[in-house]
């Protein structure tokens, strides 16, 4: 075979077959558009990158204007250091940045560092950047359209930088058609700006949607910025949070458990000044609020975590909102512990006003209401566990002894059902009635009791003239819960032996479940034994619960234990995790019922106990125990404002 034949054979051997794909180098434009999809997924993502650049430039005032939720136009103006024409050329090239002092990617002190934001936006939209350094004779402008870069040119402009993004994703129609409505995109953009504004309280922010100004925040301190960003104007103050664990520092502000939202958008989290949406931190917040908030609702918090840069990796995702920690367990422990201490306050320090409760709506979380607190249906007989219980457990210990008994009326929830129950005056605080209401309310956050409304709510007035409404059953349920929990943790739960053991019939599966947890329940003062296939016998009940209905309580406990299919009697940690839920069920059956008339002294005793009992702002099921009406609230209700 000749040379030509050999050459032809070699060419034939290496020629691509019709079935084999060919590897080729993508054009720079296609590469940029693919990369843009990772960084710029929606208008809010582009806005985030632009505002981060403004903050990194040292801006003291940032103005944001969006049209159609940012789909048609995003404009960000700042008064930062500005850029020269040479800076503008590099700024729109991929992986060019001024924010990395070395190449270790360890000590990152700026919000941006990847050098991808402007090139990605320019690859997917029409981008215009106008910038002027301080002292420069003129401003310079550069345009990028669908990845095509023009040369910088001089123009008019003030010191700082103005970035305009138009027709987002016009160059990638597949991505543009997946954008939501302007209203939805505006919501995401607003959340983005709120998070960034929290990270820089010393910077003034202005956010405008079309012709509507949404935010206009001056430079302020962290407390004022947190109150403005969390929109906590109706909350009765924010609760400060401080904590440290080794090299970790946590600070910030949180709302009381009675202030919550349907989503986690109210949780603003910073790590080394960087806004993040971090599952580790969100899980820790959820655990900290788990026992004081309604199931399915989310806390409202603004928290800042300071952590050594070498202990956290921010280069996990191009969006830079997800992190990896060297010791995630320490971070969780710090957040849970710090929030737990902050939430361990008595009622009256931070609460909620009625305006915040109107947003729950019918689509909110389902709340478990004890049957004894629900209003009865017409003609329905009184529930089986509408029984007398001590008015103020543990209060009598401080009262004088030897007082005579008297008969006080107990009003059941059923209409017209009234019966007399014997109570000892030792159950009532023996404090003299003050000469004036101002004297009674002085120095008490919840004020002094004025009256009882509908046999369920205590109306009180503070020394400042504020009106306070207290749900007596919800409040006393939390007091009982905390006392029983403290006794359990101290190993001193006092049990009361029943004169005649009570046999409770229930489905066999529930009976077997209760018996399998007999040791755990015994530690809570509840002694149960098997009594046939479908019954259990109750020998003791916690003394703190008084004369509650043991049968109803056991059935509720069986349901509570059955909710977790993975729960096993030998799993001590699993039981501890559900301990608060079990105690909550028990506490509900030992609390003052809705519909029971309280004396003036009993009402004040309840208020004072609420003020000194941790977590008393919500009941064991997360409902608020008290509300406050200030003068301004009343004036709005009556149209005076």
Distance CA 68, CA 77 (A): 18
SS (H, E, C) 442-501: CCCCCCEEEEEECCCEEEEECCCCCEEEEEHHHHHHHHHHHHHHHHHHCCCCCEEEEEEE
CA 373/CA 515 separation, integer angstroms: 29
Tell me the residue length of the chain.
641
Query: Could you tell me which residue, 210 or 552, shows the higher pLDDT?
Result: 210
Close Cβ partners of 373 (under 8 Å, ≥ 6 residues apart)? 413, 473, 474, 593, 594
Give pLDDT, residue 156: 92
Residues 6+ positions from 48 with CB-CB distance below 8 Å: 192, 196, 319
Nearest to 523 by CA among 463, 572, 476: 572
Judged on CB neighbours under 10 Å (0-12, 13-18, 19+), 534 is middle
Q: Please name the residue that has the structure tokens 């050459």.
A: 7
The pLDDT value recorded for residue 591 is 60
3-state secondary structure at position 507: coil
For the stretch 201-243, pLDDT in tens is: 999 999 999 999 999 999 999 988 998 888 765 445 788 999 9
Query: If one looks up domain 383-477+593-637 in CATH, what number appears?
Result: 3.30.1540.20
> Residue 384: how many CA atoms within 13 Å on its side-chain side?
6
Mean pLDDT comparison of 333-337, 469-473, 511-515, highest-scoring range? 333-337
What is the rounded average pLDDT of the residues 260-284?
A: 89
Helix or strand (DSSP H, E) at 55: helix 43-56
What are the b/e assignments for 539-577, b being 16+ CB within 10 Å?
A: bbbbbbbbebbbbbbbbbbbebbeeeeebeeeeeeebee
- Tens of pLDDT, residue by residue over 604-636, are 988 998 888 888 888 877 788 888 888 888 888
Cα 484 from Cα 162, distance rounded (Å): 61
| Residue 214, pLDDT score | 93
| DSSP state, residue 414 | S
- Higher pLDDT: 511 or 459? It is 459
Is the CATH code 3.40.50.12280 the one for domain 28-216? no
pLDDT tens, 84-108?
A: 999 898 888 876 666 555 554 455 5
| 603: three-class secondary structure by DSSP | helix
User: Among 48-57, 182-191, 375-384, 463-472, whose mean pLDDT is lowest?
Assistant: 375-384
The residues, any chain, with a CB within 8 Å of residue 479's CB and separated by 6 or more, are 591, 606, 609, 610, 613, 616
CB 330 within 8 A of CB 209: no
Q: What is the CATH number of domain 222-343?
A: 3.30.230.10
Half-sphere exposure of 577 (CA within 13 A, CB side): 12
**Extended strands (E) in 156-272:** 160-166, 204-209, 212-217, 239-245, 248-254, 260-261, 267-271
pLDDT of residue 270: 93
Q: Which of 227, 287, 281 is nearest to 259 (CA)?
A: 227
- Asked if 28-216 and 222-343 have one fold, the answer is no
Residue 624: what are its φ and ψ, rounded to 5°? -65, 145
Confidence of residue 321 (pLDDT cuts 50, 70, 90): low
Q: What is the mean pLDDT of residues 254-282?
A: 88
Instruction: Give the count of beta carbons closer than 10 Å to the beta carbon of residue 474.
Output: 27
pLDDT tens digits, one per residue of 442-457: 678 898 999 998 888 9
> Which residue in this structure is represented by tokens 């977590």?
615
Residue 441: predicted pLDDT: 58
pLDDT, greater one: 515 or 423: 515
Supply the pLDDT for residue 398: 32
Pick 379 or 154 by higher pLDDT: 154
| Mean pLDDT for the stretch of residues 396-416 | 33
pLDDT at 294 over 50: yes
Residue 199 has pLDDT above 50, yes or no: yes
Would you tell me how many other CB atoms lie within 10 Å of the CB of residue 502?
A: 17
| Fold designation for 493-588 | Ribosomal Protein S8; Chain: A, domain 1 (3.30.1370)
Domain boundaries, the chain: 28-216, 222-343, 383-477+593-637, 493-588
pLDDT at residue 363 in the model: 35
The reported pLDDT for the residue numbered 206 is 96
349-373 confidence digits (pLDDT tens) = 665 655 545 444 333 333 333 333 3
Question: What per-residue confidence (pLDDT) applies to 639?
Answer: 84
Burial class (CB in 10 A: 0-12, 13-18, 19+), 374: exposed
pLDDT single digits (tens) 139-163: 999 999 988 899 999 999 999 999 9
The most confident of 51-65, 499-513, 536-550, 566-580, by mean pLDDT: 51-65
Say if residue 462's pLDDT is above 80. yes
């Amino acid at each position: 075979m000749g040379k030509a034949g050999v050459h032809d054979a070699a060419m034939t051997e290496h020629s691509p077959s019709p079935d084999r794909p060919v590897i080729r180098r993508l054009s720079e434009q296609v590469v940029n558009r693919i990369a843009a999809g990772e960084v710029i997924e929606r208008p809010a993502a582009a806005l985030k990158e632009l505002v981060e650049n403004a903050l990194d430039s040292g801006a003291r005032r940032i103005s944001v204007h969006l049209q159609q939720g940012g789909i048609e136009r995003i404009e960000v103006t700042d008064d930062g250091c500005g850029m020269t024409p040479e800076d503008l050329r590099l700024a729109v090239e991929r992986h060019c940045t001024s924010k990395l002092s070395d190449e270790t990617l360890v000590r990152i002190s700026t919000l941006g560092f990847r050098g991808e934001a402007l090139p990605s936006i320019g690859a997917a939209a029409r981008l215009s950047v106008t910038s002027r350094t301080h002292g420069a004779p003129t401003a310079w402008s550069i345009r990028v359209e669908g990845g095509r870069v023009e040369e910088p040119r001089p123009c008019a402009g003030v010191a700082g930088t103005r970035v305009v993004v138009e027709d987002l994703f016009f160059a990638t129609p597949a991505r543009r058609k997946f954008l939501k409505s302007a209203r939805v995109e505006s919501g995401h953009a607003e959340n983005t700006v709120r998070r960034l504004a929290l990270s820089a309280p010393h910077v003034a922010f202005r956010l405008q949607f079309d012709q509507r100004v949404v935010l206009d925040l001056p430079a302020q301190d962290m407390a004022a910025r947190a109150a403005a960003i969390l929109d906590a104007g109706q909350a009765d103050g924010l609760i400060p949070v401080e904590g440290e664990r080794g090299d970790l520092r946590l600070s910030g502000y949180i709302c009381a458990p009675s202030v919550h939202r349907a989503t986690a958008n109210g949780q603003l989290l910073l790590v080394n000044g960087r806004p993040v949406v971090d599952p580790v931190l969100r899980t820790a917040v959820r655990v900290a609020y788990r026992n004081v908030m309604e199931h399915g609702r989310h806390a409202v918090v603004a928290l800042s975590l300071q952590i050594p840069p070498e202990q956290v990796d921010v280069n996990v995702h191009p969006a830079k909102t997800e992190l990896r920690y060297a010791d995630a367990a320490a971070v969780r422990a710090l957040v849970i512990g710090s929030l737990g201490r902050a939430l361990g306050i008595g009622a009256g320090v931070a609460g909620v006003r009625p305006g915040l409760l109107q947003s729950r709506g019918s689509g909110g979380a389902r709340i478990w209401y004890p049957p004894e607190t629900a209003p009865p249906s017409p003609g329905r007989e009184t529930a089986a566990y509408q029984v007398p219980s001590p008015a103020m457990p543990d209060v009598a210990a401080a009262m004088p002894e030897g007082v005579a008994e008297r008969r006080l009326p107990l009003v059941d929830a059923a209409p017209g059902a009234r019966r007399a129950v014997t109570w000892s005056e030792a159950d009532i605080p023996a404090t003299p009635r003050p000469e004036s209401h101002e004297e009674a309310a002085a120095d008490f956050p919840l004020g002094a009791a004025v009256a009882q409304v509908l046999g369920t709510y205590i109306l009180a007035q503070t020394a400042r003239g504020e009106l306070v409404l207290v749900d007596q059953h919800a409040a006393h349920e939390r007091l009982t819960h905390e006392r029983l929990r403290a006794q359990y943790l101290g190993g001193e739960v006092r049990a009361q032996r029943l004169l005649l053991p009570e046999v409770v019939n229930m489905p066999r599966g529930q009976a077997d479940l209760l018996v399998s947890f007999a040791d755990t329940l015994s530690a809570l003062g509840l002694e149960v034994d098997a009594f046939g296939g479908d019954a259990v016998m109750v020998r003791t009940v916690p003394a703190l619960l008084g004369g509650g209905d043991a049968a109803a309580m056991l059935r509720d406990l069986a349901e509570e234990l059955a909710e977790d299919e993975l729960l096993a009697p030998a799993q001590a940690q699993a039981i501890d995790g559900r301990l608060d839920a079990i105690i909550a069920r028990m506490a509900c059956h030992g609390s003052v019922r809705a519909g029971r008339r309280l004396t003036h002294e009993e009402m004040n005793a309840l208020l004072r106990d609420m003020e000194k009992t941790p977590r008393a702002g919500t009941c064991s099921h997360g409902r608020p125990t008290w509300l406050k009406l200030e003068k301004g609230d009343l004036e709005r209700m009556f149209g005076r404002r």
